[in-house]
Structure 1
Amino acid sequence: QPTATTAPAAEANVQPTAEPAQPTEVVEQPTSAPTEATATEPTVSDTNAAAPVAVANTKLNLNTVTADELTSMIPGFSSRMVREFQEYRPYVSIQQFRREIGKYVDDATVAGYEQYVYVPVDVNQSDADSLMQLSGVDDAVAAELIAGRPYDSNEAFLAQLTQLVSADDAAAAAGYLQAQ
């Protein structure tokens, strides 16, 4: 079974301050990444579990990321942009991020930054665009998730999401969720 060179499970909650470890062999990766708060590596037994299991994080939480993480993880990122990113915290939606950072850089640059960062998703408050940060969630899925509110817990939200997107996408989404 292929393995990746990643931190042991006990260290999985620690967000890297340098480039993440690269796999030594080709392994199947999720299409998006969850938060550091709930990150665990899936095991063979996890793949058969009913509930999604969060996978290792590769994106940075805009509300907790440090200046060093921003400059080391985002190519060409300047100290000026660090100040701008941190000035508008806490971010409550990806639209807020786009609007505020869009004052300083063009839309293409903002979209590039979104490849490295995310705004945590509140299952009962996030707008459709913020929900669409979750892999597999498009306008229709976001509308259905919003219509299903309120959710009693993140687990209830994930149960609904699992009915609408692939199991891999739901597993990746688990890490994007704001703690309830």
Structure 2
Amino acid sequence: MRLAQWFCVAMWAGILVVPASAQVGKSVGLADVNTISQADLLNVPHMNPQIADAILAARPFDSITQLHELLLSHKLSAEQAAEVYAKVFVHINLNTATREEILLIPGAGKKMAREFDEYRPWKSFKQFDKEIGKYVGPDETARLAQYCFIPINLNTASDEDILSIPGVGPKLLAEFKEYRPYQSLKQFERAIGKYVDEKEVRRLARYVTVE
């Protein structure tokens, strides 16, 4: 069913479609390791061609712990890895991230790991700003937010929310919306798989949900 048809059905059925406010935290200098270019990756602290090639070959990373294991296997120390994560990272899902993943965010620490967990389920970054802003200032709240995402609802997400997903531009935005309403993530994977390869579908699927 095309978007226009679905919209008409939704209106007829009395369904109120409310844009989702969940998305990917706005970058304040952080790059997504799954989409960063090779040239930019080589400018990251402690990076060399061998490590960069290994990262590119292993993409997409499903979690920051996978990237962490790769960096340690290339003899980087935990401190050096933390300096890498100040520049590139694998976004964590605020609602499902493990304590280990949260602690890999530079400067997060045990206290912030507790706070991230305490306020679950996270619904929006407005909520994040309010709750985490109780403990740190706005600049630090924004810095922490850029490491995180809250999965967007494929059927109600706004254009802004969809475009916040790294690597999504106007063409993919149109395809995301073209196949609404989604009944399952499998449907999303089949539909978007017409335009991108299997690895890219897997990367994109991390950021979305169907409700």
Structure 2 residue ranges without an equivalent (≥5): 1-23, 152-211
Instruction: Find the partner of 1:124 among 50, 74, 95.
Output: 95
1:133, CA displacement in angstroms? Answer: 5.3
1:38 to 26, 29, 32: 26
Which residue of 2 is the match for residue 48 of structure 1? none
> Shift of the alpha carbon at 1:145?
1.7
Match of 1:93 among 59, 63, 73: 63
Distance 1:75-1:159 versus aligned 2 partners, 3 A rule: closer
Q: Cα 1:80–1:93, aligned 2, differ >3 Å: closer, same or farther? A: same
Contact 1:136 1:166 in 2 (8 A): no
Distance apart, 1:135 and its partner CA:
6.4
Contact 2:123 2:150 in 1 (8 A): no
What SS does structure 1 have at the residue aligned with 2:148? coil
* Structure whose alpha-carbon radius of gyration is higher: 2
Q: Report percent identity of matched pairs.
A: 20
**Aligned counterparts of 1:138 and 1:153: Cα–Cα separation in 2:** 22
SS of the aligned residue for 1:102 comes to: helix
1:177 is the counterpart of 2:155: no
Task: Please identify which structure carries the higher helix content.
Answer: 2
Q: TM-score, normalised by structure 2?
A: 0.50
In the aligned structure 1, how far is the partner of 2:136 from the partner of 2:47?
A: 33
Q: Distance in 1 between matches of 2:127 and 2:46?
A: 40
Query: Residue 50 of structure 2 aligns to which amino acid in structure 1?
Result: R
Report deviation, 1:37. 7.5
Does the CA contact (< 8 Å) of 1:61 and 1:120 recur in 2?
yes
Written as runs of structure 1 = structure 2, the 5 A alignment for 1:27-176 is 38-39=26-27, 56-57=28-29, 59-71=30-42, 73-74=43-44, 77-107=47-77, 108-132=79-103, 137-176=108-147
Amino acid at match of 2:75: V
Give me the TM-score of the superposition, normalised by structure 1: 0.57
Unpaired stretches in structure 1, ≥5 consecutive residues = 1-35, 40-55
Greater RCO between the two (CA within 8 Å, min separation 6)?
Answer: 2
The change in CA–CA distance for 1:128 and 1:98 in structure 2 (over 3 A counts) is: same
Which residue type is aligned with residue 67 of structure 1? Q
Closer/same/farther in 2, CA of residues 141 and 76 from structure 1, 3 Å limit:
closer
CA distance in 1, matches of 2:106, 2:85: 13
Residue equivalent to 1:10: none
Return closer, same or farther for 1:173/1:81 CA change in 2, 3 Å cut-off: same
CA offset digits 1:115-151 (Å, max 9, x no partner): 4322213211222343345566320221122132111
Residue-by-residue CA offset, 1:56-114 (whole Å, 9 max, x unaligned): 41x3221211111112x225633221221123333343322211221122325434423
* Contact kept? 1:121, 1:130, Cα under 8 Å: yes
